[in-house]
């Protein structure tokens, strides 16, 4: 039985006081939830304070990126040792906004994922097709390319520490959610692919989140699908009431 995981990606939102306010509200509402794993992923500058805010709660903190090198002259980058030193447990890797605006490729996603594992961080590796690719009937080709390219060279043991996030780019921040059937179809495709790449036990143990305009109103149906193990939430994670409702409704 895979434990569901709901992660909030705050992207480049929230000043320090806004982040503290959001965490205060989340702690009161869902700070004691243990039936699902709850993760919040603030911008780098709020990681330390958010970890502090999450003490004595069941909420874990994730970063939105990681650089693959150890310490060095890499201005603007943040490495694994820095993340773990402030208590970060997860890291989002290869989000479509990084692929689209910052030149992220399967190769760099692979390097970042290796670095995360080396430092004991749990990577949330994002894959997903854009609208043109879906309309051209290339969804499964793109997903195969993202999964195989991003996850090459890992052992079965590594894979069990990785969470995959299927995020159709056309559904991110657009209000257009994939139907639960569309999402399930791709999640099943990914699980079958993991079976071919590794084995049945690994494929069945790995958690695959859905991401793309997840809201309190659609999460229950999404997680009722056999291969959907939670959600990566953007916009709706920025308000305590909607994120808390998503967490609660994922347990129904």
Q: Which helix (H) or strand (E) holds 41?
A: strand 37-41
* Options 85, 173, 179, 200; binder of ligand PEP; rule CB under 6 A: 173
CB-side exposure of 212: number of CA atoms within 13 Å? 25
* Options 93, 214, 219, 245; binder of ligand PEP; rule CB under 6 A: 214
Is residue 36 within the footprint of ligand PEP (CB under 6 A)?
no
Is residue 246 within the footprint of ligand PEP (CB under 6 A)?
no
Is residue 233 within the footprint of ligand PEP (CB under 6 A)?
yes
- Is 146 known to be catalytic? no
Q: Are 128 and 210 in contact, with CB atoms under 8 Å apart? A: no
Beta strands per DSSP E along 53-129: 59-63, 90-93, 122-127
Per annotation, catalytic residue among 46, 97, 167, 187: 167
Q: Residue holding tokens 């939105």?
A: 64
Is residue 212 within the footprint of ligand PEP (CB under 6 A)?
yes
Identify how many contiguous H helices and E strands the chain contains and give both numbers. 12, 8
Q: Which helix (H) or strand (E) holds 210?
A: strand 207-211
Is residue 121 within the footprint of ligand PEP (CB under 6 A)?
no
Question: Can you read off the two tokens belonging to residue 155?
Answer: 């052992």
Smallest gap from residue 169 Cβ to ligand PEP (A): 10
Smallest gap from residue 227 Cβ to ligand PEP (A): 18
- Is 95 known to be catalytic? yes
What b-and-e string marks burial along 110-119, b requiring 16 or more CB atoms within 10 Å of the CB? bbbbbbbbeb
* Degrees to nearest 5, angle at CA 221 with 220 and 222: 90
The nearer residue to ligand PEP, 9 or 50, going by C-beta atoms, is 9
Smallest gap from residue 107 Cβ to ligand PEP (A): 21
| φ and ψ of 237, to 5 deg | -90, -5
Is residue 7 within the footprint of ligand PEP (CB under 6 A)?
no
| φ and ψ of 39, to 5 deg | -130, 140
Q: Which stretch binds ligand PEP (CB under 6 A): 12-20, 37-45, 212-220, 241-249?
A: 212-220
Per annotation, catalytic residue among 46, 95, 119, 187: 95
The nearer residue to ligand PEP, 151 or 178, going by C-beta atoms, is 178
Q: Which stretch binds ligand PEP (CB under 6 A): 53-61, 108-116, 155-163, 205-213?
A: 205-213
| Interface ranges with ligand PEP (CB under 6 A) | 9, 167, 172-173, 211-214, 232-236
Catalytic residue numbers read 95, 167
């Amino acid at each position: 039985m895979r434990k569901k995981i709901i992660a909030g990606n705050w992207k480049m939102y929230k000043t320090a006081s806004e982040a503290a306010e959001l965490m205060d509200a989340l702690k009161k509402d869902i700070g004691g939830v243990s039936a699902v794993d709850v993760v919040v992923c603030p911008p780098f500058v709020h990681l330390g304070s958010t970890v502090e805010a999450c003490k004595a709660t069941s909420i874990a903190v994730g970063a939105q990126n990681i650089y693959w090198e150890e310490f060095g002259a890499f201005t603007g980058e943040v490495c694994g040792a820095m993340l773990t030193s402030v208590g970060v447990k997860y890291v989002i890797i290869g989000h479509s906004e990084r692929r689209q605006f910052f030149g992220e490729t399967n190769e760099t996603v692979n390097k970042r994922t290796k670095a995360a594992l080396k430092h004991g961080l749990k990577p949330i590796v994002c894959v997903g097709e854009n609208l043109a690719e879906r309309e051209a009937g290339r969804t499964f080709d793109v997903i195969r390319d993202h999964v195989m390219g991003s996850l090459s060279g890992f052992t079965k043991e590594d894979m069990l520490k990785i969470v995959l996030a299927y995020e159709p780019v056309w559904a991110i921040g657009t209000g257009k959610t994939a139907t639960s059937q569309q999402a399930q179809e791709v999640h099943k495709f990914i699980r079958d692919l993991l079976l071919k790449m590794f084995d049945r036990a690994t494929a069945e143990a790995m958690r695959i989140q859905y991401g793309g305009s997840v809201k309190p109103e659609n999460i229950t149906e999404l997680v009722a699908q056999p291969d959907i193990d939670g959600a990566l939430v953007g916009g709706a994670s920025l308000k305590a009431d909607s994120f808390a409702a998503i967490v609660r409704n994922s347990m129904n």
